[in-house]
């Protein structure tokens, strides 16, 4: 065989490999300490699952840089740990038991490997310090990498199998966000609702949909992501509940709004409240505990203030919020 013919045969062999494919049609188990590396150009999930050991030793399914998959569905996916060695974007075909839970990660800066798994665990960080502020689901995606990765964007998908509607009064689609675990607290992220592309003709609802992070997730400091239900009065910058401040004051002794109410706020010694009239003159001031609520009278002269709008500033430490309250006597 001539060298030119040999190189030609090798060329066609590699072209064939680069366009080769394989299909999963039944369950396949990867035992602990072993890795199944998929270098095929296309993997078709036609039936069954690739199941990897999770503990004590992990089984791994890894995909090559140019490898992709299709036809993944609610009965055929990777039940276990999925790994990649390349940078860029990748859709991880993850799930667990009978729940199909893929996750998409964008702009991965991979210096070694990046792996992710989906788990359903009702006890995993189910009672973090800020549990009274947000409600977390029992669905978690955990990632791992031996080297620094920087930040990436995530897309999470849910279906009726995730039963997000079981989370009580938090279960409103408008309250659904993505949250990352950092310092034992679940921090809500600015998120975008979209249809679930894995389900045909799927309108957004608590039974099916997609959430995309609008801000990057730090893959070094945060190692898990989930769905969280966040009350409307939540500060996504400082990650705490916002105070509920009444916008109207009607001190007419009818039992309704007779005093200016500030609720859902922990007053401390450095808390200050200032109220000003339209000319910028102070009409009320409180320092520390809000023990004497404002009732529409000047805090020094005790005189009844005229009806109208008043500007307030509430501050504590580095936190400050401002707004208007309307005083009405009749």
- Is residue 25 located within the same domain as residue 158? yes
Alpha carbons 7 and 146: distance in angstroms, whole number: 39
Alpha carbons 23 and 236: distance in angstroms, whole number: 44
Of 173, 226, 175, residue with least CA distance to 203: 173
Of 108, 114, 64, residue with least CA distance to 89: 108
Q: DSSP readout, 172-206?
A: -GGGEEEEEEETTEEEEE-EEEE--TTSTT--SBT
The C-alpha angle 312, 313, 317, rounded to 5 degrees, equals: 160
pLDDT at site 11: 40
pLDDT at site 288: 92
Residue that is last in its domain, among 195, 212, 234: 234
pLDDT at site 232: 58
pLDDT at site 130: 52
**Is the distance from CB of 213 to CB of 189 less than 8 angstroms?**
yes
pLDDT at site 117: 95
- Is residue 38 located within the same domain as residue 186? yes
pTM of the model: 0.65
- Is residue 213 located within the same domain as residue 309? no
Helix ranges, the chain (H): 3-18
SS3 assignment, position 52: strand
Residue that is last in its domain, among 204, 234, 264: 234
- Is residue 148 located within the same domain as residue 116? yes
Q: Which two tokens stand for residue 244?
A: 């509920």
Residue 138: which domain range? 14-234
pLDDT at site 125: 56
- Residue 8 lies inside a defined structural domain of this protein: no
Alpha carbons 274 and 136: distance in angstroms, whole number: 36
Of 69, 107, 111, residue with least CA distance to 88: 107
Q: Which two tokens stand for residue 132?
A: 């009274």
pLDDT at site 281: 93
- Residue 3 lies inside a defined structural domain of this protein: no
Alpha carbons 86 and 145: distance in angstroms, whole number: 12
Residue that is last in its domain, among 234, 252, 274: 234
- Residue 199 lies inside a defined structural domain of this protein: yes
- Is residue 85 located within the same domain as residue 114? yes
We report the CATH number of the domain holding residue 283 as 2.60.40
- Element housing 302 (H / E): none
Of 104, 73, 69, 75, residue with least CA distance to 89: 104
Q: Can you give the pLDDT of all 330 residues of the chain as single tens digits?
A: 454 444 444 444 444 444 588 899 999 999 999 999 999 889 999 999 999 999 889 999 999 988 889 888 888 999 999 999 999 999 999 999 889 999 999 988 888 899 999 998 856 655 554 555 677 888 999 999 887 678 899 999 999 899 887 765 555 677 788 999 887 778 888 888 888 888 876 788 888 899 999 888 988 888 899 998 866 555 544 445 567 888 899 998 888 889 999 987 878 888 999 999 988 999 999 999 999 999 999 999 999 999 999 999 999 887 888 889 999 987
Of 106, 56, 60, residue with least CA distance to 79: 60
Cβ neighbours, 10 Å, residue 114? 25
- Is residue 135 located within the same domain as residue 280? no
Give 207's DSSP letter: T
- Is residue 257 located within the same domain as residue 117? no
pLDDT at site 77: 95
**Is the distance from CB of 249 to CB of 296 less than 8 angstroms?**
yes
| Total domain count, the chain | 2
- Residue 309 lies inside a defined structural domain of this protein: yes
- Half-sphere exposure of residue 240, counting CA atoms within 13 Å on the CB side? 8
Alpha carbons 155 and 169: distance in angstroms, whole number: 25
- Is residue 35 located within the same domain as residue 93? yes
């Amino acid at each position: 065989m001539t060298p030119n013919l040999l190189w030609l045969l090798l060329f066609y062999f590699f072209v064939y490999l680069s366009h080769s494919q394989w299909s999963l049609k039944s369950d396949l188990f990867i035992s602990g300490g072993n890795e199944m590396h998929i270098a095929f150009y296309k993997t078709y999930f036609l039936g069954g699952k690739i199941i990897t050991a999770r503990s004590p030793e992990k089984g791994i399914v890894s995909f090559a840089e140019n490898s992709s998959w299709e036809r993944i569905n609610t009965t055929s996916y990777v039940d276990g740990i999925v790994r990649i060695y390349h940078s860029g974007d990748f859709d991880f075909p993850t799930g667990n038991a009978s729940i199909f839970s893929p996750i998409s990660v964008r702009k991965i800066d991979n210096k070694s490997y990046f792996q992710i798994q989906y788990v359903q665990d009702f006890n995993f960080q189910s009672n973090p310090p800020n549990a009274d502020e947000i409600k977390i689901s029992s669905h978690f995606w955990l990632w791992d990498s031996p080297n620094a990765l920087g930040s990436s964007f995530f897309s999470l998908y849910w279906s009726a199998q995730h039963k997000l509607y079981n989370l009580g009064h938090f279960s409103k689609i408008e309250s659904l966000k993505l949250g990352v675990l950092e310092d034992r607290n679940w921090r809500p992220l600015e998120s975008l609702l979209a249809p679930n592309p894995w389900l045909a003709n799927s309108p957004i609802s608590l039974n099916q949909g997609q959430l995309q992070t609008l801000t990057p997730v730090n893959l070094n400091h945060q190692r898990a992501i989930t769905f969280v239900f966040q009350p409307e009065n939540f500060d996504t910058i400082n990650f705490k509940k916002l105070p509920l401040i009444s916008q109207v004051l009607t001190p007419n002794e009818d039992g309704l709004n007779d005093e200016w109410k500030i609720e859902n706020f922990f007053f401390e010694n450095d808390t200050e409240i200032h109220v000003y009239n339209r000319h910028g003159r102070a009409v009320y001031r409180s320092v520390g505990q809000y023990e004497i609520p404002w009732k529409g009278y000047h805090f020094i002269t005790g005189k009844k203030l005229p009806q109208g709008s008043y500007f307030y500033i509430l501050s504590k430490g580095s936190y400050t919020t401002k707004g208007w309250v309307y005083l009405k006597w009749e």
